[in-house]
Amino acid sequence: MNYRIVQQVTLVDMNNELINEVFFDHGVFETFFLPIGSSVVTRPLGLKQFEVVHDRRTDDVVRFKIIDTEINLVTQGQEVRAFLEPITLIIGQHDVGEFYEE
Segment 80-93, tens digit of pLDDT:
899 999 999 998 77
Count the domains in the chain.
1
* Mean of per-residue pLDDT scores for the chain: 87
Which helix (DSSP H) or strand (DSSP E) does residue 13 occupy? none
Does residue 100 sit within a domain?
A: no
Q: What is the pLDDT of residue 2?
A: 85
CA 24-37-22 angle, 5° bins: 15
Does residue 59 sit within a domain?
A: yes
* Least reliable range by pLDDT among 4-8, 11-15, 22-26, 61-65: 11-15
CA distance 92 to 32: 39
Could you say which DSSP state residue 100 is in?
A: -
47: domain range? Answer: 2-90
Q: Residues 63-69: what's their mean pLDDT?
A: 96
**Predicted confidence (pLDDT) at residue 101 exceeds the cutoff of 70:** no
Tens-digit pLDDT profile for residues 20-52: 999 999 999 988 888 999 999 999 998 887 888
Does residue 11 sit within a domain?
A: yes
Q: Residues 69-89: what's their mean pLDDT?
A: 87
**Predicted confidence (pLDDT) at residue 100 exceeds the cutoff of 60:** no
